[in-house]
Structure 1
């Protein structure tokens, strides 16, 4: 199996919305973004699948060393071998890969965030940095496109947090800021025991509204000159916003006990429509 095929399989197995948005890209960009996504999956899986924190820390340290090997021209893992070309072609920064790993390590070091400001650092590392790297792969002329990529990454991560509240609670993690839990009178115990209360529903509607504001802000900041090049990000935004709409329509309190996901057919339809018609 070639490194590129390994990354393709890794992306396809995830069933992620991101995978569907890659399908319309030219080959060089598609291989690059697929390799970047596979890297994110690999380091995310370290945290999600390792039950021993010491083992997880050791694996993340290995990935940091592997990034050093990538930039020294001697990578060992199929994903980093697949990234050799994209790193050179699209001038991807070493620091950004390390920031992503730092974000994953935050999951080993804290399971609560006191304020939204605290949560923003986590969102930046695990999502905005990926957005900035993706924007380089897609290409842009106007530097303001970086602001769009940053805020779109925040919007994506907030959507993930909303969608995965129940799943994260089962892992003992609560990403919703403590200050906001207190403001809406939602004890952490309600999340950990999956109680769908009116207070929790109001809290989730607030979270959804903030995510929607980040989508609106991001799209508004995308310069017209770069809109066509950044269509892949717009495809992802369409799929993620549709997911957010479904959560709101179905009842946002239900995220505690179910994980909503769009069907593959709907994701493909949204991807096709957004790619060709915006």
Structure 2
């Protein structure tokens, strides 16, 4: 079994690419880091790093260990944080959400959740559906609101909201051809691309954005079109300059799901709290 110090040394060398940089990151002398890695390699019977003038790079055995080592480090950090929160009388929920859901749906949900559990501390992260599912799977998030759910056995997904997807165009002016969208991994972008292909309008140029406001602002001035939930368009400051049209089925609707790990029983009451708050 890896000790916490061996784990820290292994991850530091893997991240920094050299023993000297890893030692600096950990605040230790290089000989200490080198000795811990050598001891670990001897115990495992495998070389974890190729050493050379350019630094240290992972061997196939090192790559095999890396993913599991990161998971172990995440679990240790999660356990430490849980103990601190419990000692301080706090209940921490690391929640993920698509940006569209965070803006249009979550404020009321989180308010109701806090009213029911005043001790609830929230950390909210936004991302694409693919990114959020990966973060829940790898325990960086306790739960996340995503589009369409997942078929991964380790995760459970429960429906929360049904969104009406619309084509967003500028009012009173022709729209440029580009599709304004989030980066790859966004379900709404995938729906838009499938619809454009089916309607004979693909391929199209795609302009990637990091925010809903950026997408809608550029759509309002005619830089392109977008496909988004109607609810998020209606509350935008840019709504008066935008025209929305429903997408035909099977592209016109999307179910937002709350995903969480099946084996995380300790967080189950908080997931149930969110589901109750969302249905109120």
More helix per residue: 1
TM-score bucket of the superposed structures, by smaller chain: under 0.3
Q: TM-score, normalised by structure 1?
A: 0.23
**TM-score, length-normalised on structure 2?**
0.23
Indicate the structure (1 or 2) with the bigger Cα radius of gyration.
2
